[in-house]
Amino acid sequence: MEEVQTMSRAGEPVTQAEGEQAAYALRELARTVSAPDALGVSQEQLDVAVPFFVLGWAMGVRTGHTAPTVEGVPVDGESVTRVLAGLRAVQVTSQFADPVLWQKVDYHGSVTQQHGEYWVQAIHVHADPFGGEPELRYDLCEMRGVAPVTVITGARRVSLTPLPVFRVTG
């Protein structure tokens, strides 16, 4: 009898069934809110999130925090989108030093009256005529409702500080 109590205090690994259920639930959430591609979250990024989701899933089930009052009630789309967009932000900022499309940046370039935060609307690659490293230039915009309005064109990389904020498109 004492041996059983010791095992339960030490815990048990996540079962295969819990893992399969959680992985399925995460993929369904990603699909139902918006296709992973529309959020910029690749299958590889979702695969990175699965172990954490499985752990949270198992902890919720085992501690009774999956009350019957929410049984069968899906998680709202906004919550799922926020989490997946956050995953995308972590992945992108850890992999790329340069800003990417629809990432928010702080502009601090030579046009001082335009300093502030903007969205990256376009990225242009300019070839070096002597075969050197190509130069990236950025067009920055503000959103007015759902319409992007270009504010700065041709900003240099040194004039931008990427921020961990991404616009969810789609």
**pLDDT one-digit tens code per residue, 82-114:** 666 666 655 555 555 688 888 899 999 999 999
Q: What angle do CA 125, 128, 129 make, to 5 degrees?
A: 130
As a whole number of angstroms, the distance between CA 3 and CA 1 comes to: 5
Closest by Cα among 81, 161, 165, 153 to 122 = 153
What are 42-45's contacts with CB under 8 Å, separation 24+?
45/87, 45/88, 45/91
pLDDT exceeds 50 at position 116? yes
pLDDT at 36: 46
- DSSP-assigned letter for residue 71: T
Q: Strand, coil or helix: what is 15?
A: coil
Q: How many CA atoms lie within 13 A of 64 on its CB side?
A: 0
Domain extents in the chain: 2-94, 103-166
Return phi, psi of residue 100, to 5°: -120, 170
pLDDT tens digits, 48-77? 777 777 777 777 777 766 655 555 565 666
Kindly report which listed range (67-71, 129-133, 135-139) carries the lowest average pLDDT score.
Answer: 67-71
The model's pTM: 0.47
What rounded mean pLDDT belongs to the chain?
75
Report residue 119 as tokens. 């969205």
pLDDT exceeds 80 at position 162? yes
